[in-house]
Amino acid sequence: MEGGLGICSIEDVVSSFRLKGLWSGMVNKSIWASFICGKYGIDNISLAGYASPCTASKFWKECAYLIPVLVKNSAWKVGRGDINFWLENWSNEGALAATFSDEDQPIPISLREASEADFIIPGLADSSIPQVRNLFESRLSADSDKRLWAITSDGTFTIKSAFEQLRKVAPPCPFARFYWANFIPKKLSVFFWRSIHKAIPVDVRIQNCAISLASGCVCCAHRQVESFDHLFMHGDIAASLWDYFAPPFDIRRGDFHNFWDFIWAWFNVAPVGSQMGSLGTLIPLVIIWETWRERNRRTHNDPHSGLSSIRYKILKWIQDINPMFKVNKCSPVRIQNILHICRVNLTPVHRKPIKVVRWSTPPPGYFILNTDGSAANSSAAGGGVVRDYQGHIVAAFHRFYGPGTNNLAESRALLDGLALCKQMGIRRIEVRVDSRLVASWFHYKCEIPWSLLRWWLMIRELAQVLDLVVGHVYREVNAPADFMASLGMSSRSDHNFMSDFPAYLVGLARLDRMGFPYIRIG
């Protein structure tokens, strides 16, 4: 299992390559693939539920062990429909056996057979049949059944994506985002990582390995037992350094009995990435590092340094890394005082430009459709607002799409908005979205992920019968659509408003008509 250093497991890497071989055998039409499929009696169409024969080689059995992973992460472009109705992800929303089946092991049936029976089949409840029919109608179609790798946007298999599915990652360490920050030198990060995993060879740690050793801290006048907490927190050198650097941050060493609680207080002195937060992360790591170096010098009878010399080295660390702190002459007085103690000169930083943006009217004769998507906790929702050329609300809607990504929410919100306009008889529409990606997809500037193709095919069909002008706007002037998308997420429901619009939405539209300015930074 991978830890803080992210060293990959060889077993997971090898499994990724095995999965690549399995995928090639299932999808490719080469002579080698045909030979493997014929030898081991495997068929890409009926892959789910496959069991390798007893006479199979060890390599093939190891590959066959990964078949459930391959099936789980597959999707389909449906042709004849000979694939397993229950176990294959032909709907691109997951295998139906886990969601719709009334039985633990449903009777095997192909998608073609199920559709010919109008989905009135054993194991499928009558109440679920309409939903399954809708999934079938919105499936991705092709001339023949084609398996896709569901994880990548274009449906092609990559070893990297397979490895991400197979790798086993240890639970995240709460300290990791601090000591692995980009501005922290890697030797400090690695040393702190070793400290967390109790891999620093202090005397007590060596004694715990059943090695006889007389312990005496060389950094103390009284030669106390050298434990980790003692050396790095309570020892004479460490205590002097902490007591010198901690007070400006309102941290008192005496308030803490545990070293890690003390470090946690340092790391949380200010938000990560801020000027104070950067100093609160760097200083304790440097103190620990310099304390350990001084301990080793004294242990090996090298010329040791005095406290003033160690302080100077710590200050030198801070001064050398100063350009990464983004400190400036407008910093709060408290930070300036701390930097003065650390002998760091204030330097100016680049300020992001400020833009003023406003809502604008559409071309004469056009209506405006604003749409937006929302995704949180693996759920997706969307919403939109239709306004006339004067900015008055004509209609509004929100939808809840269930499991999905933000790109799915943005795409489906656009589709639902266009469908609503068509239903209302509105043909000339200026569409405004705050997703550059959606605007690029509409104008064929980049490839649409396979998982969204079915929605975009419907969008293209509507675009054929509507007069559309699609453009990108900043999210600040897309606030009405953002509100409707948030309403869809919070209510987890679908609703069209033709009158009695939400008061907050009416207020946003009124501000837009008044030309209210929105401030955008960057």
Structural domains of the chain ordered from first start: 10-166 (no CATH), 175-342 (no CATH), 356-521 (3.30.420.10)
pLDDT given for residue 326 in this prediction: 52
**β partners of residue 387:** 368, 393
Does residue 319 have a pLDDT over 90? Answer: no
172 vs 391, more confident: 391
Q: What is the pLDDT of residues 130-162, one digit of tens each?
A: 888 888 887 888 888 888 999 888 889 999 999
Strands of 495-497's sheet in order across: 467-472, 428-433, 367-376, 379-387, 393-403, 495-497
Distance CA 49, CA 40 (A): 14
Highest-confidence segment of 35-44, 240-249, 347-356, 435-444: 435-444
Can you give the pLDDT at residue 334? 64
**438 or 325, which is more confident?**
438
Which one has a higher pLDDT value, 274 or 396? 396
What per-residue confidence (pLDDT) applies to 412? 96
Q: Is the pLDDT of residue 383 over 90?
A: yes
Q: What is the pLDDT of residue 102?
A: 59
Half-sphere exposure of 451 (CA within 13 A, CB side): 21
Instruction: Name which residue leads in pLDDT, 28 or 405.
Output: 405
Residue 522 has pLDDT above 70, yes or no: no
Write down the pTM of the prediction. Answer: 0.69
In this prediction, residue 343 carries a pLDDT of 67
Q: Backbone dihedral region of 402: left (phi > 0), alpha (psi from -120 to 50 degrees) or beta?
A: left
